[in-house]
Amino acid sequence: MSTATDSSVIIVGAGVVGLATAVELASRGHEITVLDPAPASGATHFAGGMLAPTAEVVYQQDPLFPLMRASGEWYPELIDLVASHTEVPTGYRDEGTFVVAADRADAQHLTELTDYQSLHGMEVERVPVREARRAEPLLSPRLAAAVSIPGDTQVFPRQWAASLLSAAQELGVRFFRTAAQSVDAARGVVSTPAGNFHADDVVLAAGLGARDVDWARSAGLERSPLQLRPVYGDIVRLRVPEHLQPLLNRVVRGFVEDRPIYLIPRADGTLAVGATSREDTLTTAQAGGVYALLRDAIRILPAVEECEFLEASAGARPGTPDDLPYLGRVSDRLVISTGYFRHGILLTALAARCTRELIEGTDPSIDLTACHPLRHLKEHQ
């Protein structure tokens, strides 16, 4: 049920995190204004969209695990909320995920990863390759191992962003296509080329763009504590020929000579193949990265060779030194919500819920201590 409130909130940034936060708050009766020169673009436009709190586990990143698990559990509620305010499809699919190994060495890697996931209480089931191929007949017969992760699902990010935008508009959220230049963290004033905007609370959810917003001095800091960096990922989009549809029924992730790859089927008859990870200055797709993705995809799913090439693109994900997001209050009027790195789509449900709780003055549903936006201050001193 919505709760009436007189508070107003400005959200800086209209990627999926900003949009979901707007929907969450507006559904509770808050008056919301969103500032972004190009809503539903940025890293959102290039994301794979996997909701994979198990498959995307990385060794020694234990503080991330409860955040990923909680957000995965909360996602269906967010999907239902959005769907109740728009007829635009969310692109949500819940068929689950297979993770496969291309050779015996990859099978050993997969075994070790599965053991690690199981040790941390995650649901992973080893399945014979023949069983995986019964479910997904076009998988290569030369695969060495497979596991099933039924709880790892997906959304189609571009469609998801469109549905979030539509739901926000239906809920009365106001959008202004302008960029925030500064935020007065003490007074709740956002300065833009289009003028100043005032609110009870401001949420800085601009991804990498948060680096360009001047707010720290008004919060009593000498400089911004946010150590954001762009991490580029190449991703390929293919169209599946009519006679091969459906090429896959679920997400398939794999290891090919220890290189990770994923293949994501979409309801529109396309297939996303991703993604590389590089920290360089090339802002468009790298030829070598695209080649490697297609080569490894074909090794896992040979029918990829018959697909039509649609596009190769690269998005910049906002990374932090410890790969944890910045999420928390830095003043009475400013909440920071950025730095979600490669988990941005998955952690959207957590970002929206916890930001709403911070705005409403209630305790967050999960401990956010590890995500505090000021945690890297000492490294500047």
- Is 267 within the bounds of a domain? yes
Count the helix, strand and coil residues of the chain and give each as a percent rounded to the nearest 5: 35, 25, 40
- Is 178 within the bounds of a domain? yes
The total of other beta-carbon atoms located within 10 Å of residue 378's CB is 8
Q: ∠ CA 143-145-147 to the nearest 5 degrees?
A: 125
User: Do 198 and 261 fall into the same domain?
Assistant: no
Report how far residue 153's alpha carbon sits from residue 348's, in angstroms, rounded to the nearest whole number.
14
Which structural domain, as residue segments, surrounds residue 41? 8-51+158-228+321-371
What local confidence, expressed as pLDDT, does residue 2 receive? 35
Contact 344/317 with Cβ under 8 angstroms? Answer: yes
Sign of CA dihedral 252, 15, 307, 94: positive
Q: Which of 303, 319, 335 is the last residue of a domain?
A: 319
User: Do 38 and 170 fall into the same domain?
Assistant: yes
CATH of the domain at 236: 3.30.9.10
What local confidence, expressed as pLDDT, does residue 60 receive? 83
User: Do 233 and 308 fall into the same domain?
Assistant: yes
User: Do 242 and 143 fall into the same domain?
Assistant: yes
Report how far residue 79's alpha carbon sits from residue 163's, in angstroms, rounded to the nearest whole number.
10
- Is 111 within the bounds of a domain? yes
User: Do 233 and 313 fall into the same domain?
Assistant: yes
Report how far residue 151's alpha carbon sits from residue 154's, in angstroms, rounded to the nearest whole number.
10
Instruction: Identify the residue whose tokens are 């080569």.
Output: 295
Report how far residue 191's alpha carbon sits from residue 176's, in angstroms, rounded to the nearest whole number.
12
- Is 196 within the bounds of a domain? yes
The secondary structure element, H or E, covering residue 9 is strand 8-12
Report how far residue 237's alpha carbon sits from residue 247's, in angstroms, rounded to the nearest whole number.
14
User: Do 146 and 234 fall into the same domain?
Assistant: yes
User: Do 145 and 239 fall into the same domain?
Assistant: yes
What local confidence, expressed as pLDDT, does residue 5 receive? 45
Q: Which of 319, 342, 360 is the last residue of a domain?
A: 319
Tell me which amino acid residue 28 is. Answer: R
Contact 66/57 with Cβ under 8 angstroms? Answer: no
User: Do 271 and 166 fall into the same domain?
Assistant: no
What local confidence, expressed as pLDDT, does residue 351 receive? 98
- Is 63 within the bounds of a domain? no
Report how far residue 325's alpha carbon sits from residue 306's, in angstroms, rounded to the nearest whole number.
39
- The number of distinct structural domains making up the chain is 2
Burial class (CB in 10 A: 0-12, 13-18, 19+), 222: exposed
Question: Which of left, alpha, beta for 97 (phi over 0: left; psi -120 to 50: alpha)?
Answer: beta
Q: Is 183 helix (H, G, I), strand (E, B) or coil?
A: strand
**Cis preceding linkage at 275, omega within 30:** yes
User: Do 236 and 312 fall into the same domain?
Assistant: yes
Contact 331/183 with Cβ under 8 angstroms? Answer: no
User: Do 130 and 250 fall into the same domain?
Assistant: yes
User: Do 163 and 214 fall into the same domain?
Assistant: yes
User: Do 104 and 218 fall into the same domain?
Assistant: no
Which residue intervals of 184-332 are DSSP H helices? 287-300
What local confidence, expressed as pLDDT, does residue 46 receive? 85
Taking CA atoms, 222 is separated from 191, 229, 309, 336, in Å, by 20, 20, 49, 17
Q: Which candidate, 121, 147, 126, places its Cα nearest to that of 66?
A: 121
- Is 310 within the bounds of a domain? yes
- Is 67 within the bounds of a domain? no
pLDDT tens for the chain, residues 1 to 381: 233 444 799 999 999 999 999 999 999 999 999 999 999 887 788 889 999 999 999 888 899 999 999 999 999 999 999 999 999 999 999 999 999 999 999 999 999 999 999 999 999 999 999 999 999 999 999 999 999 999 999 999 999 999 999 999 999 999 999 999 999 999 999 999 999 999 999 999 999 999 999 999 999 999 999 999 999 999 999 999 999 999 999 999 999 999 999 999 999 999 999 999 999 999 999 999 999 999 999 999 999 999 999 999 998 999 999 999 999 999 999 999 999 998 999 999 999 999 999 999 999 999 999 999 999 986 544
What local confidence, expressed as pLDDT, does residue 379 receive? 53
Report how far residue 301's alpha carbon sits from residue 315's, in angstroms, rounded to the nearest whole number.
25
CATH of the domain at 190: 3.50.50.60
- Is 110 within the bounds of a domain? yes
